[in-house]
Amino acid sequence: MRDAVTSLIRNYDVAGRHLDRNAFDQLKAYFDSGSVRIAMAGLINANSAAIVKKASAQLFEEVPELIRPSGNAYTTRRFSACLRDLDYYLRYVSYALVAGDNNVLDERVLQGLRETYNSLGVPIGPTVRGIQIMKEMVQAMAEDANLAPSSLAEAPFDHLSRELSEVSL
């Protein structure tokens, strides 16, 4: 698992190079944004249950087929699995925010996930929509809490969405 600092050091070490101006600019940007990242993770963790509840309600309102008898989130067990997945995404997003790096998402969340979803018929499109709804909620909460720039919250949610849907950059 890597964070912004270990990723940067790794790249320079692989190339056998001293840290240069560009490295110091990147490090400074990471440390300067540190308290906002931590506050955002705190906001997520303090409100995770409410975020999952509201985001899932909105998702099921937008895509009601999911909870109809032929839907993937139909039955109590699958409904709970769906909410649990949203909570996983939220928790790992908070880790990635603190780390300033999406590597934790690749290693702990995304590996093999598409295959699992495909084999269980979990629809990717609505899952990505759920992730995006949570992103919008977290950004709105960050704005209310005067955490700037609130766009810092975007990267990990977008990374999850992009990798899950395999949409090229």
Question: Do the Cβ atoms of 145 and 26 come closer than 8 Å?
Answer: no
Total binding residues toward ligand CYC, as defined by CB under 6 A: 19
137 belongs to the binding site for ligand CYC (CB under 6 A): no
Residue 156 engages ligand CYC in binding (rule: CB under 6 A): no
DSSP per residue over 136-169, as a string?
HHHHHHHHHTT-S-GGGGHHHHHHHHHHHHT---
Distance CA 36, CA 150 (A): 9
How far apart are the C-alpha atoms of 15 and 78, rounded to whole Å? Answer: 47
Interactions with ligand CYC, residue window 57-116 (CB under 6 A): 66, 72-73, 78, 81-82, 85-86, 88, 108-109, 113, 116
CA dist 166 and 123 (Å) reads: 14
Question: Is the CB of 22 or the CB of 118 nearer to ligand CYC?
Answer: 118
Whole-number minimum distance, CB 22 to ligand CYC, in Å?
34
Nearest residue to ligand CYC, by Cβ distance, number only = 82
Handedness of CA 37, 100, 56, 126 (dihedral sign): positive
Binding site for ligand CYC (CB under 6 A): 66, 72-73, 78, 81-82, 85-86, 88, 108-109, 113, 116, 120, 122-123, 126-127, 130
